[in-house]
Structure 1
Amino acid sequence: MHQTSFCFVCTHLTSGQKDGDELRRNADVVEILRKTRFPHAHGARDEKWPETILDHDRIIWLGDLNYRIALSYRSVKALVEMHNWKQLLEKDQLRIEQRFGRVFAGWKEGRIYFPPTYKYSYNSDRYAGDDMHPNEKRRTPAWCDRILWYGRGLNQLCYVRGESRFSDHRPVYSIFTAEVKLPSQAQFGSFTRSSSLMGVDELPYPTYPRSYTDINFY
C-alpha cells in the first residue's frame, strides 16, 4: 500500500490438548516463518521488496492457533462462569509460550474480554463438554482463535468475538488503523503515470500535509 508493505498470515496450527502439544504449535510457527518466501513482483523496482514474512512493515497473523488453557475442564468452566479472564489468561498456553520467548516473541495481542472461543456444540451456545454425547470428546474451553500483529504503525481499535453458531468455534475479529507512508512529492509524478489502472480512491493525494495517512481494516 503506497510505500508500506503488509502481510496477512492465516493459519490452522496443530490441534490437541495433551501436554506438549503446545510445542508442536510453536514448531509450526517456526516452520511457517522459516519457509515462507515471496517472489519479487514482476516489474517492481523496489530493492527492499520483502522476501519473508518478517521483512514486511505491518504483519497480522490470525486463525485457529489452537493454543489451550492449562487447567482442568471444571476449573476452566468455573472461571468462565465468573468471567475471570485474568486468571484464565495466566494459564493460556500462547501467553505462557510468549513470556518464555518460545514463540511470537515481540508480537502483540489485544486484551481479551470475551469467553473462550472453543469448543461449542453445533448450533448452540453451550460448550461441548456440558452435554456430552457418547461419541463426543470432551474439550476444555480455550481461546483457540486469535489475532496477533507485528511491526510499528498498527493500532488496534477493538478485539471481539462473533456469535455465529455454524461451527464449534466462535469467530474473532478486530479493527485496526494503520499508518501508511506516502511517496515523496518528487516521486509522485512518476507514480501517477504508472498507476493508470489504480482506483481513484487508492491514489495518494499530493498535497496531503503529513508523511503518513490512516487506512482502516474492517
Structure 2
Amino acid sequence: MVNFVWSSSCLLFALWDSHTKELLKVFNIDGQEVEMGAGFLAMAAAKETVGLEGSANGHWWLDAIGNVLVEGTLFERIGSRQLAGLLIAVWARKTLRPFIGDVDAAAVPCGFGHAIGNKGAVALRMRIYDRKICFINCHFAAHLEALNRRNADFDRVFWTMTFSPSSNGHNTAAAGASSVHPHRGGNANNDRTPELSEADMVVFLGDLNYRLQGITYEEARYFIAQRHLELLTEKDQLRAEMKAGRVFQGFREGVIKFPPTYKFEKHLTGLSGYDSSEKKRIPAWCDRILYRDSCCDSRTECSLACPVVSSIYMYDSCMDVTGSDHKPVKCIFNVDIAHVDELTRRQEFGEIVFSNEKVRRLIDDFGNVPETTFSSNNITLEGNDITVLRITNKCRRDGAVFQFFCGSQSVVKESEQASEHSSRDPFGFPNWLEVTPRTGIIKPGKTVEVSMRHRNVDTVDEFTGRSHKTQQNNDSSDKVVVLKVRITGNYPTESKSYEIHVSRRSSNNQYVESRGGVSRWSPPDLI
C-alpha cells in the first residue's frame, strides 16, 4: 500500500527487489491521492454517476508498474479500479492465471455526502483455485478526533460494497465460499448479507488514518528513537477499537516492527523526518494492512473445511521513500488454499459407485424400467367399434408409467398413393383416432386397458369452405398410424419405447381379421 505522490522509480524499487520478485505469485498494489484537487474530485464523482472511472494519472501508474513487473511476460494484470484518488490493481504470474477467475471490482465513496471519493474504498474480488479472495484499498477520515468517523467509514465500506465485473477481469472459475460477519455497526442501514462476508480471505489496506491517543508529540518521538514500539502500540486507536470489538471484527494484523508511517516532511531521510512544523502532528501508524481468512484460529490447518489459511511472511514499511508525508507499507502473505481436484474426485466417485453395493442398488433403482407386455402390436379398427389394447406390468415391485405419442401416419385413398398429410388434434394424434387413456400408471403386477376406436370427423370442402361429416360407409381411404409408447419407472431417468401399429381399413377393401378386431398377436417392437 503506497501514497502516490512521488517518483515511480523510488516507489517500485522499494517494494520490488530480486528476493520479492521470486516469492510473489499475486501482486496487489494500492494507492491514495493518485489525483488531488477539488476540481478533479468533482469530475471523478460526475464520471462515476455515468459508469466511467479512471484517469490519465491512474493509467500512467498502471503502465509504470506493469513495466517493472514485466507485464505480459512474467505477470498479467488481473484487474484494476480507481475512485478519484484511490487506485487498486492486481497482477498474477502467468503460470497462475489459468486458476484465477470471476474478477469483480467495487467502489464505495465516503467523502462529502457519501458521494465524493477523496475518502472511501476501492476493491477487487477474484477466485483463486475456486476460493474468493478480496483486496480493499481504503482511505478513511483524517485527524485525531475523528475516531468514530473512521469506524463509520469501515462500517459503510463493509456493509455496502457491491461488486461488478472488472474491465480487466475474465470470468472463468466458480465455487463456494465461506462466510464471516463482523458485528453490524450503527451506521449500517440495511439487512442484506454483505458481499465481503462471503469471501474466503479479505485484506483491508490503506491509509486508515487511526492515530496514537493519550501521548504527546515529544513522548512519541522519544519512544520511536528508543525503539520502544510496543509502548506506542498500546496507544494505537486501531488496536484499541479492534480489541473492543467496534471495528474490523474478526480481522488480524501482523506484528508491527517498523516506526509510525506518518507524518513526515518530504525529502528528509531517517527518523529525523517526522513533522517538525508548528502543528507537530503526533506520529502514527496511519498506513495498515489487516486480513482475515477462513479460520478463527491461526493454528488451524488448511482443509476443505477451512480452505484458506494465511500467515505473514513479512510486514514492513519503506522508510527510504521520501516523496510523501507517508511511508509505504508492504506485506507478504503465505497463503495455503485447499481446492478439489475435479479429475481425482470423478475417479473416486466412480470407485465408490462400483464398490459400494448400497450405492449401486440406488443407481439401479433410479434407472430401473419395469418389464411390460402388450396384448398386440398390430391393431385393426373396424367401423366405430372399440378395440382394447392391454398393457401388463410384469414387475412385482415397481410401478410403470406409460405415455402414448403419435409417430408417422398415412391415409391411402382407393387407387392413390399414400399421403403423409392428415389433420391432427392439439396433442399430435390424427383426428380420426381416439386413444383413451393416453397416459397412466400401471401398478406392480397389474394390467391396464387402453381403448382405441375410429371416429368420424368434420372435413372442409376446399372449394366451398363448408364442413360436413364424413360418411363411414362412403369412406374409401385406408388409414395407418404408428403409435409410440414410452415406459418409465418410478424415476423417469431411463425409459423404453415400443411401437404399436394401428390401421383402419376402408369398407371397400377386403381384409381378413382375427376375432375382436385385433390381428394375430406378435410381440411389440422395442425401439
Output the TM-score relative to the length of structure 2.
Answer: 0.33
The residue aligned with 2:150 is 25
Give % identity: 33
The residue aligned with 1:7 is 134
Is contact 2:265-2:325 (8 Å) kept?
yes
Deviations 1:127-147 (A, max 9, x none): 4433x2xxx632110000000
Change (3 A) 1:174 1:49: closer
The CA distance in 2 between the partners of 1:140 and 1:9, in whole Å, is 27
Is contact 2:132-2:177 (8 Å) kept?
no
Deviation at 1:182, TM superposition (A): 2.7
The residue aligned with 1:205 is none
The CA distance in 2 between the partners of 1:23 and 1:59, in whole Å, is 23
Is contact 2:254-2:312 (8 Å) kept?
yes
Equivalent position to 1:57, from 200, 207, 219: 200
Is contact 2:131-2:177 (8 Å) kept?
no
Deviation at 1:184, TM superposition (A): 2.5
Is 2:335 the partner of 1:172? no
The CA distance in 2 between the partners of 1:47 and 1:111, in whole Å, is 31
Deviation at 1:65, TM superposition (A): 0.5
The CA distance in 2 between the partners of 1:96 and 1:104, in whole Å, is 11
* Aligned-partner SS, 1:105: coil
Deviations 1:59-95 (A, max 9, x none): 1110001000011111111111111111100010000
The residue aligned with 1:106 is 250
The residue aligned with 1:158 is 314
The residue aligned with 1:208 is none
Deviations 1:137-186 (A, max 9, x none): 32110000000001131111110101211100001101111122333234
Deviation at 1:115, TM superposition (A): 0.6
Q: Which has the higher contact order (CA 8 A, sep 6+)?
A: 1
The CA distance in 2 between the partners of 1:52 and 1:123, in whole Å, is 41
Change (3 A) 1:142 1:47: closer
The CA distance in 2 between the partners of 1:82 and 1:45, in whole Å, is 51
Is 2:163 the partner of 1:38? yes
The residue aligned with 2:263 is 119
Greater strand content: 2
The CA distance in 1 between the partners of 2:334 and 2:314, in whole Å, is 10
The CA distance in 1 between the partners of 2:255 and 2:331, in whole Å, is 11
The residue aligned with 1:96 is 240
The CA distance in 2 between the partners of 1:129 and 1:65, in whole Å, is 19
Is contact 1:127-1:141 (8 Å) kept?
no
1:67 partner amino acid: Y
Equivalent position to 2:275, from 122, 126, 129: 129
Task: Report matched runs for 1:195-214 at 5 Å.
Answer: none
Deviation at 1:24, TM superposition (A): 0.7
2:140 partner amino acid: L
* Aligned-partner SS, 1:104: coil
Aligned residues between the structures: 183
2:327 partner amino acid: R
Change (3 A) 1:184 1:167: same
The CA distance in 2 between the partners of 1:53 and 1:102, in whole Å, is 17
Deviation at 1:5, TM superposition (A): 1.0
Equivalent position to 1:139, from 273, 281, 284: 281
Is 2:327 the partner of 1:184? no
Unaligned 5+ residue runs, structure 2?
Answer: 1-127, 180-193, 295-308, 347-527
Is contact 1:156-1:176 (8 Å) kept?
yes
The residue aligned with 2:519 is none
2:160 partner amino acid: K
Which has the greater radius of gyration?
A: 2
Change (3 A) 1:185 1:54: same
The CA distance in 2 between the partners of 1:69 and 1:161, in whole Å, is 18
Equivalent position to 1:82, from 226, 234, 237: 226
* Aligned-partner SS, 2:253: coil
Change (3 A) 1:81 1:36: same
* Aligned-partner SS, 1:129: coil
